[in-house]
Structure 1
Amino acid sequence: MNFLKYLFIIIFIILTYSCNQKNEILKVGTNVWPGYEPIYIAREIGKLDKNIKLYKKYNKET
């Protein structure tokens, strides 16, 4: 019985510890392509999460 009690306590601690939210910034790299345009439109109208940072790469080739 003690084994089950300690097992339950350990599982409870692990589950509650894993519920923390980290507010890390997600960095997303894109290039100039029409398929990525909805991401930038969502950012402009405020629908994109503040923790997402977009980086646009411009091609120097012509």
Structure 2
Amino acid sequence: MKAYVDSLRTIRSVLNDFCRNHQLSLGDDVALEASKKLIALCTESEQTAAQMLAYVEQWYRLIC
């Protein structure tokens, strides 16, 4: 259970950083899609916060 809670905290922290970097609110469509990407990434394998942020930043560059 602790690992699950830690993953959620990490996802939220990374999402906050991502939104801050791109001046998005958590309710923006892009932020919601980024959160889905982060959740999927965490279910596939363990990632550090830096790896997760790099992943969504790369995804964001592809969609812009």
Tell whether the structures are fold-level matches, with TM greater than 0.5: no
Q: Normalized per residue, which structure has more helix?
A: 2
Query: How high is the TM-score relative to the length of structure 1?
Result: 0.32
The answer to which structure, 1 or 2, has the higher relative contact order (CA under 8 A, 6+ apart) is 1
Query: How high is the TM-score relative to the length of structure 2?
Result: 0.31
Larger radius of gyration: 1
Q: Normalized per residue, which structure has more strand?
A: 1
